[in-house]
Amino acid sequence: MRPSPVLPILLSLLISACNDEPLQHSDTDEPAPLLLAAEQGDLGTLDALLAQSSSLDIRDACRWTPLMKAALNGHTEAVRRLLQSGAAADLTDKGGYSALLLAASNNHTEVVALLLEAGAWIDRQEQTSGWSALIWAAKRGHEATVELLLQHAAREDLKDFQGRTALSWARTEGHERIVALLSSG
């Protein structure tokens, strides 16, 4: 499988677009450590902060939450603990990315499962390219994630801003097993 140059470019654009705004903090500056602990998957710090913080959905300059950061990095247990503590499963950042989109695009299948169980919207499309979780996973060759999304009735007919579906992306990228999965439905 060849690496896609799209994600690093997209992430650098999103990050650079958000650098002009400061982090949001509570009066005690508690949430910044919560964002960092979630991003790093530091469960000890995360547990301590969750025990004392009511700001589970604090956002950074890009409007990323602790749950989004944990999902992006595949920190399954951090995601579980954030959800159990009441973190909102379906918030989006400035580009319309949710924790589910971030997890699906990086093949964090267990995280995707947790987010779906928590009620994350399976067919959300981000605002930069119009990609859904299924399109992301199919395009990037993440077979297990594609299977899980299909089991949860992800819409295969959704089109991105170029008019392309998950199936057309899987074909273009040469992911034959995913093409077979999407064609059998």
Domain 26-121 -> CATH class: mainly alpha
Amino acid 185: pLDDT: 64
Please state the domain extents for the chain: 26-121, 123-185
N-terminal to C-terminal alpha carbon distance within the chain: 24
pTM for the full predicted model: 0.85
Q: Of 46, 107, 54, 49, which Cα lies nearest the Cα of 79?
A: 46
- 26-121 and 123-185 agree in CATH topology: yes
Spatial contact of 120 and 151, defined as CB atoms under 8 Å apart: no
- 30's tokens: 């508690």
* Averaged pLDDT score across all residues of the chain: 88
CATH number of 123-185: 1.25.40.20
Amino acid 23: pLDDT: 45
- 58's tokens: 């604090």
List per-residue pLDDT tens for the chain, 185 residues long. Answer: 444 554 554 454 454 445 444 444 444 444 479 999 999 999 999 999 999 977 899 999 899 999 999 999 999 999 999 999 999 999 999 999 999 999 999 999 999 999 999 999 999 999 999 999 999 999 999 999 999 999 999 999 999 999 999 999 999 999 999 999 999 86
Amino acid 12: pLDDT: 46
